[in-house]
A and B are shown apart, each in its own frame.
Chain A
Amino acid sequence: MKIVKIIAIVLLVAFVGIQFIPTTRNQSDTVPSTDFMLVNNVPETIQKKLQVSCYDCHSNNTQYPWYNKIQPVAWFLEDHIKEGKAELNFNEWDSLSSRRKASKLRSIIKQIENGEMPLDSYTLIHSEATFTEAEAEELINFITQLKDSL
């Protein structure tokens, strides 16, 4: 039993210790003029859905959950956001060329069609981010139109 106690203490110290490792936070007050919503005529329902389901990881501003400051959760979130923004940042949409836009739009359609986005680990906590069939169809139709108009 003694060894269990020692392990527990070591872990507790480690857990407290890692809380001091800083993480970068993805937050910004301004929406750049290149933002997807600003340069495209996006219907309001779709705007809301994108904001709730995509913008946390695919823009410069994350609505963090309350537990975001606790390690190792903060690392996990930081990684995901970094990766998400590297793939697609809606805030910087208009800085992409037509070719890149077409590529991104095609990927959005496929990811939604195959239910790969939003990630399961995200919808687990943000149940409102899940797409209903009707919402998915609405978004795919809109994105397809946008792609064809490029």
Chain B
Amino acid sequence: MKNLKMSIAAVLLLAVSFTNAQEKKKMNHDHEDMKMDHSKMTTMKSDAKTETILSDYFNLKNALVADDTKKAAQAGSKLVVSLKAFDTDSYSKENQEELEDIIEDAVEHAEHISESAIDHQREHFKTLSKDITDMVAITGTKSTLYEQFCPMYDKGSAWLSTSKEVKNPYYGSRMLKCGKVQKTIQ
């Protein structure tokens, strides 16, 4: 009987380690697929790409406003793709470097958002918002944006919105109205 228990335990241990290894392989695979998508998309117009990034960012923001972790995660994944598809070629060398830096940082935050619980998503959204704001400062955008600010979350945190009305992505329903418009971006 003791033998039996031991072998069952051993089988389980092995099974766990194997599935673990396989999962890893699968993850690597997914990464490769994403890279391929990325190269296909670089033929699009760069102006349109800024707008795609912004639209994914706003979907993410709205999901956080609605306390919807799952939707936020999905928007995060989409944002990873649209950020990676951004083409810096048409910008000056200095701006290119700046944009590449911004995008590398933003991609990391979007990746974390795609796989985290809501508190984490909001932490990363703060830095992501800074990245996107800095990006828009260089690229510009077709629409009018409002930079809003909530003094309470993490010693003060900003985000972008397409509407003047404040809906707080850091607190969601807990404190939906906390914040004010601090800047209009045109």
A48 within 8 A of B: no
Residues of B within 8 A of A126 (CB): none
Distance in Å: Cβ of B61 to nearest Cβ of chain A: 19
Partner of A100, one of B3, B10, B13, B105: B105
Interface bin, chain B: 20 to 34
Q: B-facing mask of A44-65, CB < 8 A → 1, else 0?
A: 0000000000000000000000
Q: In the bound complex, how far is the Cα of B127 from the Cα of A71, in angstroms? A: 40
* CB proximity of A81 to chain B, nearest CB, Å: 13
Q: Bin chain A's interface residue count.
A: 10 to 19
CB contact list, B1-51 vs A, under 8 A: 3-4, 6-7, 10-11, 13-14, 17, 20-21, 24
Q: Which residues of A lie under 8 Å from residue B109 when comparing CB positions? A: 103
CB distance from A107 to the nearest CB of B (A): 8
Asked if B123 is an interface residue, CB under 8 A from chain A, the answer is yes
Bound-complex Cα distance A47 to B11 (A):
42
**For the complex, is B68 an interface residue (Cβ under 8 Å from A)?**
no
Contact bitstring A1-37, B, C-beta under 8 A = 1, else 0? 0001101100100110000000000000000000000
